[in-house]
């Protein structure tokens, strides 16, 4: 991979992580009454590349940006996937495109569809956002963005989507007031989505999404995994089968802080962990064991030698549900540690002391069963003299069963 391509990949990936973790809506504040009526309106989200090959990361950024603005305005959001080849064919013919948008929107039970096309040229991203009115059968508003991919590009994208919604508020309110309160997805919508699978237009997970919404309370856990429906129309993807066991192997340098840093530069700490995960409506709680074995060379004292730090403790964690391929987590651990010093030619000494540790990080999912976690933690060993504490940045590869 060339230096330019590497830069683009890292930048796009960083923007996507920021959008998932720290996104803030650009949409103006709506009144309480508007938000109530907005809850009756379903907005379908469709994103496709206008020409060339699809960039999945850029597509995810745009889809998530649209979803955030739609949900923060109080609407129900649905997402569908279109075949790139079919979509690019329809883009050349306005009548065929409108007919296809109408067909897919009705199958999803949507009142409006935000249809986004994009083109990525090096670090320049051009996007067009069209608001399709299902009742009228045509586009009622459009917004365009032409931005350079940097740390502020998501603000421009969000602003365009916010303007698109705000400028169409009168029409949206009209549709909302015509609909009954607390309308749910009908059986007809679920059946239509099921039929569309055979045409290769909609993924099977979206049929499950529609069927889960039907008659289920917000925040209720699905019995067979798959998806959970939360307040405000937010849908978070879960694996088809809950994976309760988490086995991990990791590596972390221990970077000492305080008095210890004067004679120990760094200790190298491979570790392993095992935890049992419990799924709750707002995340995943994990509890288990964590064992490590840190080894470093102490050279700034009278007796030079090897210092060993071997913690064994109970590990408690909280993680969010997976959003696309990412999740965030918090972790705390505590227990006992064996501290041993092996001097050069001297007598070995050691002690068992309590320790505590806390950290936060993110996990990248390669599959439903394999993830890589990056964490920044702080560890304190309650040794009498000196108190041992340090920073522990780590990487862990985990298998979920």
How confident is the model over 300-346, as pLDDT tens digits? Answer: 666 788 989 999 999 999 998 887 788 999 999 999 999 998 888 77
| Predicted pLDDT at 380 | 94
On the question of pLDDT at 254 being above 70, the answer is yes
State mean pLDDT over 230-252.
68
Element holding 309 (H helix, E strand)? strand 305-319
| Predicted pLDDT at 316 | 97
Give the closest residue to 226 by CA, choosing from 206, 200, 201.
Answer: 206
End-to-end CA distance of the chain: 34
Instruction: Tell me if the domain spanning 245-400 has CATH number 2.40.160.20.
Output: yes
Tell me the C-alpha distance between 274 and 399, whole Å.
10
Question: Domain 3-183 class?
Answer: alpha beta
215: left (phi over 0), alpha (psi -120 to 50) or beta: left
Indicate the pLDDT class of residue 185, thresholds 50, 70 and 90.
very low
Tell me the C-alpha distance between 272 and 227, whole Å.
30
Helix axes 204-213, 187-197, angle to 10 degrees: 170
Whether the model pTM is above 0.75: no
Indicate the pLDDT class of residue 33, thresholds 50, 70 and 90.
low
The answer to whether the CB of 337 falls within 8 A of the CB of 381 is yes
Residue 7 or residue 50, greater confidence:
50
* Tally of CB atoms within 10 A around 5: 10
What percentage of residues in the chain have a pLDDT greater than 70? Answer: 73
* Tally of CB atoms within 10 A around 329: 18
Tell me the C-alpha distance between 107 and 104, whole Å.
5
On the question of pLDDT at 231 being above 50, the answer is no
Task: Convert the pLDDT of each residue in 39-83 to its tens digit.
Answer: 778 899 999 888 878 888 888 888 888 888 888 888 888 888 777
The answer to whether the CB of 308 falls within 8 A of the CB of 352 is no
Which alpha helices (H) appear in 23-55, and where do they start and end? 32-38
On the question of pLDDT at 189 being above 50, the answer is no
Q: Taking the CA atoms of the chain, what radius of gyration do you get in angstroms?
A: 26
Q: Where in the chain is the domain with CATH 2.40.160.20?
A: 245-400
| Predicted pLDDT at 156 | 82
On the question of pLDDT at 103 being above 70, the answer is yes
The answer to whether the CB of 366 falls within 8 A of the CB of 350 is no
The widest CA-to-CA distance across the chain, in whole angstroms, is 87
- Within 122-229, strands assigned E span 124-133, 138-148, 227-229
Indicate the pLDDT class of residue 169, thresholds 50, 70 and 90.
confident
State mean pLDDT over 127-150.
88
Tell me the C-alpha distance between 31 and 388, whole Å.
54
Q: Where in the chain is the domain with CATH 3.40.50?
A: 3-183
* Tally of CB atoms within 10 A around 353: 18
DSSP 299: -
Tell me the C-alpha distance between 336 and 382, whole Å.
10
* Tally of CB atoms within 10 A around 358: 14
On the question of pLDDT at 208 being above 50, the answer is no
The answer to whether the CB of 134 falls within 8 A of the CB of 102 is yes
* Tally of CB atoms within 10 A around 74: 20
CA–chain centroid gap for 8, Å, is 20
Q: What is the average pLDDT value for the chain, to the nearest integer?
A: 77
What percentage of residues in the chain have a pLDDT greater than 90? Answer: 29
Number of residues that make up the chain: 401
| Predicted pLDDT at 261 | 82
Task: Convert the pLDDT of each residue in 282-304 to its tens digit.
Answer: 789 999 999 999 899 888 666 78
């Amino acid at each position: 991979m060339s230096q330019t391509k590497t830069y683009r990949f890292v930048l796009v990936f960083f923007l996507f992580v920021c959008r998932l973790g720290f996104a803030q809506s650009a949409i103006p504040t709506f009144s309480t009454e508007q938000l109530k009526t907005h809850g009756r309106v379903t907005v379908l989200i469709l994103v496709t590349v206008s020409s060339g090959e699809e960039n999945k990361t850029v597509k995810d950024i745009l889809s998530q940006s649209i979803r955030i603005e739609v949900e923060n305005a109080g609407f129900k959001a649905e997402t569908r996937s279109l075949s790139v080849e079919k979509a690019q064919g329809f883009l050349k013919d306005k009548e065929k495109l409108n007919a296809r948008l109408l067909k897919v929107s009705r199958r999803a039970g949507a009142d409006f569809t935000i249809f986004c096309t994009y083109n990525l040229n090096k670090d320049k991203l051009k996007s067009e956002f069209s608001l399709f009115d299902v009742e009228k059968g045509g586009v009622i508003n459009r917004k365009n963005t032409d931005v350079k991919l940097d740390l502020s590009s998501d603000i421009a994208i969000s602003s365009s989507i916010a303007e698109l919604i705000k400028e169409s508020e009168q029409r949206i309110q009209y549709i909302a007031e015509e609909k009954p309160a607390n309308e749910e997805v009908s059986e007809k919508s679920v059946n239509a989505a099921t039929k569309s699978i055979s045409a290769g237009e909609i993924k099977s997970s979206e049929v499950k999404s529609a069927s889960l919404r039907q008659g289920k309370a917000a925040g209720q856990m699905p019995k067979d995994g798959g998806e959970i429906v939360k307040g405000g129309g937010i849908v978070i993807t879960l694996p088809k089968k809950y994976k309760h066991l988490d086995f991990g192997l990791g590596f972390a340098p221990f970077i000492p802080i305080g008095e210890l840093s004067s004679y120990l530069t760094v200790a190298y700490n491979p570790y392993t962990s095992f935890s049992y995960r419990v799924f709750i409506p707002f995340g995943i709680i994990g509890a288990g064991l964590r064992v490590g074995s840190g080894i470093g060379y102490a050279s700034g004292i009278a007796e030079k030698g090897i210092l060993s730090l071997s913690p064994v403790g109970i590990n408690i964690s909280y993680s969010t549900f997976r959003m696309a391929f990412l999740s965030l987590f918090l972790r705390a651990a505590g227990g006992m540690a064996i501290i041993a010093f092996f001097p050069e030619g001297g007598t070995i000494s050691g002690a068992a002391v309590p320790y505590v540790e806390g950290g936060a990080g993110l996990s990248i999912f390669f599959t439903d069963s394999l993830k890589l976690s990056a964490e920044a933690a702080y560890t304190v060993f309650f040794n009498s003299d000196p108190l041992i504490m340090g920073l522990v940045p780590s990487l862990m590869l985990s298998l979920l069963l």
